[in-house]
Amino acid sequence: MAYLLKGVSVLGAAPTDLVIKDGVIAAEPDNTAQVIDATGLVALPGLVDVHTHLREPGREDAETVDTGSRAAALGGYTAVCAMANTDPVADTAGVVEQVWRLGREAGLVDVQPIGAVTIGLAGKQLAELGAMASSAANVRIFSDDGFCVADPRLMRRALEYVKAFDGVIAQHAEEPRLTEGAQMHEGEVSTRLGLTGWPAVAEEAIIARDVLLAEHVGSRLHVCHVSTAGSVEVLRQAKARGVRVTAEVTPHHLLLTDELAAGYDPVFKVNPPLRTRKDVEALRQALLDGVIDVVATDHAPHAVQDKECEWAYARPGMLGLQTALPIVLSVFGENWDLIADRMSVAPARIAGLTGHGGDLTAGTPANLTLVDPSYRGVVDPSELASRSRNTPYAGMTLPGRIVATFLRGEATVLDGKAVK
Ligand SMILES: NC(=O)N[C@@H](CC(=O)O)C(=O)O
């Protein structure tokens, strides 16, 4: 199938016609192409998420590779990296290959499995990193996300090991001894509510340690969901010294604050926790500066019984795939170069996903999404494609609608609806 996107604005540039044929952006017009009136629509390279929880295998009641892929395509994504904290954990070639195969079967986005750093995410022994790297899933990112690789010697070994195949360790930076029993950000609000706090320094101390380790062994470190102003400063200094470190921020940490915990609605419980306005401001500036490289969703679907309960018993995490672009648009406005770089180009580079994060010039793979920036819509949880409902944005009016998404030239979303 060929498509002609008529009057489309590529990254906010003057309207033009874009032809998609044989999986690539075509150089020549095509008379057989299906015409899509793209007046007022902006084309972006397909979004890439380096941090998605798809829950399969093990918690298919919360999400499956298929439902998560659907949410991703509807959110404008053409590739997602699936976190390893499944059940069984993705710590062997067998499990990462299973997730990779399920992604291919769903066929809506490229699902790139992330492998666990340690067996069972237990933080004791390195998992079979080399076997996962050389498997059909071709794993390049390794993470114990949900848990920190707290043992410094293990972290050093992991960094050394993945160097051989240009892998990267994605660290969930949380010093566990400093967050025992933590329920929310440690600060004025936690004191008022009487909830045990998760201090900023628990994140900052691990990032500081890990940039030194990465520098020492000359390996690649990626920092998951950076949430504090202090972390930004540690990263800024490390990058200035030339340490091979990249970092992500979530849409929720760019928008929401710890004040939201005051209603004790567990939909706002997340790891790392929502922080203060000062942190939000620092994270926004860091994304603009490039100190933080990418926006990653940390899409964390949870079943109703795990979320709609007392705050202390609720699992941390919130949905993100279908609201990420609207949140980023609401925070930064129509800054298309920033959006394309931080949500597609840079994440594709970090994950090593060639074919994604292109510039939409003739001959490049047709992985792209079409956005209507003039649209304003109210977030209705029941309309989300995820199997779970834990969005913190329910009832909020947000800008931007994904009109169409193309994966290697095939439409996965048309007219705002999934094609299959
Ligand atoms: N980010 C979250 O709040 N939750 C994540 C894991 C985690 O990082 O705790 C999840 O898998 O649900």
Domain coverage including residue 302: 46-355
Q: Does residue 413 fall inside a structural domain?
A: no
Q: pLDDT digit string (tens) for 189-218?
A: 999 999 999 999 999 999 999 999 999 999
**So what's the pLDDT on residue 25?**
98
Query: Ligand 1 centroid to 285 CA: how many Å?
Result: 24
Is 335 within any annotated ligand binding site? Answer: no
What one-letter code names the amino acid at 294?
A: V
Query: Ligand 1 centroid to 1 CA: how many Å?
Result: 39
Which whole number is the average pLDDT over 46-69? 98
Cβ contacts of 80 within 8 Å, gap of 6 or more: 48, 49, 52, 54, 68, 69, 72, 109, 110, 111, 112, 299, 321
**So what's the pLDDT on residue 402?**
98
**So what's the pLDDT on residue 420?**
87
Q: Does residue 89 fall inside a structural domain?
A: yes
Separation CA 219–CA 158 (nearest Å): 10
Q: Which of 337, 227, 234 is nearest to 291 (CA)?
A: 234
Query: Ligand 1 centroid to 342 CA: how many Å?
Result: 22
Q: Does residue 30 fall inside a structural domain?
A: no
Q: Which of 184, 228, 388 is nearest to 300 (CA)?
A: 388
Listing DSSP states for 213-244 in one string gives HHHHHT--EEE-S---HHHHHHHHHHHHTT--
Pairing of strands 77-82, 47-52: parallel
Q: Residue 37 catalytic?
A: no
Separation CA 9–CA 15 (nearest Å): 4
Q: What are phi and psi of 268, to 5 degrees?
A: -95, 5
Which whole number is the average pLDDT over 30-35? 95
Is 302 within any annotated ligand binding site? Answer: yes
**So what's the pLDDT on residue 333?**
98
Separation CA 409–CA 9 (nearest Å): 18
State if residue 270 touches ligand 1 by the CB under 6 angstroms criterion. Answer: yes
Cβ contacts of 395 within 8 Å, gap of 6 or more: 378, 379
State if residue 271 touches ligand 1 by the CB under 6 angstroms criterion. Answer: yes
Q: Does residue 361 fall inside a structural domain?
A: no
Is 316 within any annotated ligand binding site? Answer: yes
State if residue 146 touches ligand 1 by the CB under 6 angstroms criterion. Answer: yes
State if residue 300 touches ligand 1 by the CB under 6 angstroms criterion. Answer: yes
∠ CA 204-244-86, rounded to 5°: 65
Query: Ligand 1 centroid to 320 CA: how many Å?
Result: 12
Q: pLDDT digit string (tens) for 299-351?
A: 999 999 999 999 999 999 999 999 999 999 999 999 999 999 999 999 999 99
Separation CA 146–CA 272 (nearest Å): 10
Neighbours of 387 (CB within 10 A): 20
**So what's the pLDDT on residue 86?**
98
Which whole number is the average pLDDT over 403-412? 98
**Can you give the CATH number for the domain in which 293 is found?**
3.20.20.140
Separation CA 99–CA 56 (nearest Å): 7
Region of 352 please: left (phi>0), alpha (psi -120 to 50) or beta. left
Separation CA 116–CA 128 (nearest Å): 9
Which whole number is the average pLDDT over 62-85? 98
Is 271 within any annotated ligand binding site? Answer: yes
Q: Which atom of ligand 1 lies at the shortest distance from residue 317's CA? A: 3
Q: pLDDT digit string (tens) for 106-163?
A: 999 999 999 999 999 999 999 999 999 999 999 999 999 999 999 999 999 999 999 9
Which residue has its alpha carbon closest to ligand 1 atom 7? 146
Listing DSSP states for 45-78 in one string gives EPEEEEEE---TTT-TTT--HHHHHHHHHHTTEE
Cα distance from N-terminal residue to C-terminal residue, the chain: 15
Q: What are phi and psi of 169, to 5 degrees?
A: -100, 120
Is 252 within any annotated ligand binding site? Answer: no
Cβ contacts of 40 within 8 Å, gap of 6 or more: 7, 9, 372, 373, 374
**So what's the pLDDT on residue 96?**
98
Q: What are phi and psi of 36, to 5 degrees?
A: -115, 120
Exposed / middle / buried, residue 6 (Cβ in 10 Å: 0-12, 13-18, 19+): middle
Q: Does residue 371 fall inside a structural domain?
A: no
Q: Does residue 149 fall inside a structural domain?
A: yes
The token pair at 150 is 């707290």
Q: pLDDT digit string (tens) for 339-358?
A: 999 999 999 999 999 999 99
State if residue 317 touches ligand 1 by the CB under 6 angstroms criterion. Answer: yes
Q: Does residue 304 fall inside a structural domain?
A: yes
C-alpha 360: how far from chain center: 22
Is residue 339 classed as helix, strand or coil in its secondary structure?
Answer: helix
Q: Does residue 242 fall inside a structural domain?
A: yes
- Ligand 1 mutation target, pool 198, 271, 299, 391, most atoms within 8 A of CB: 271
Task: Please name the residue ranges forming H helices in 50-175.
Answer: 65-74, 93-106, 129-133, 152-163
Q: Which of 365, 351, 269, 357 is nearest to 310 (CA)?
A: 269
What one-letter code names the amino acid at 349?
A: R
Cβ contacts of 286 within 8 Å, gap of 6 or more: 226, 232, 235, 236, 247, 249, 292
Cα dihedral: 132, 134, 136, 139 (round 10): 50
* Angstrom distances, CA of residue 29 to CA of 26, 42, 368: 7, 20, 18
Domain count, the chain: 1
Query: Ligand 1 centroid to 114 CA: how many Å?
Result: 15
Query: Ligand 1 centroid to 229 CA: how many Å?
Result: 21
Separation CA 264–CA 195 (nearest Å): 10
State if residue 298 touches ligand 1 by the CB under 6 angstroms criterion. Answer: yes
Q: Which of 182, 119, 114 is nearest to 149 (CA)?
A: 119
Q: pLDDT digit string (tens) for 220-274?
A: 999 999 999 999 999 999 999 999 999 999 999 999 999 999 999 999 999 999 9
From the candidates 298, 337, 341, 372, which is the catalytic residue?
298
- Ligand 1 mutation target, pool 85, 172, 223, 256, most atoms within 8 A of CB: 85
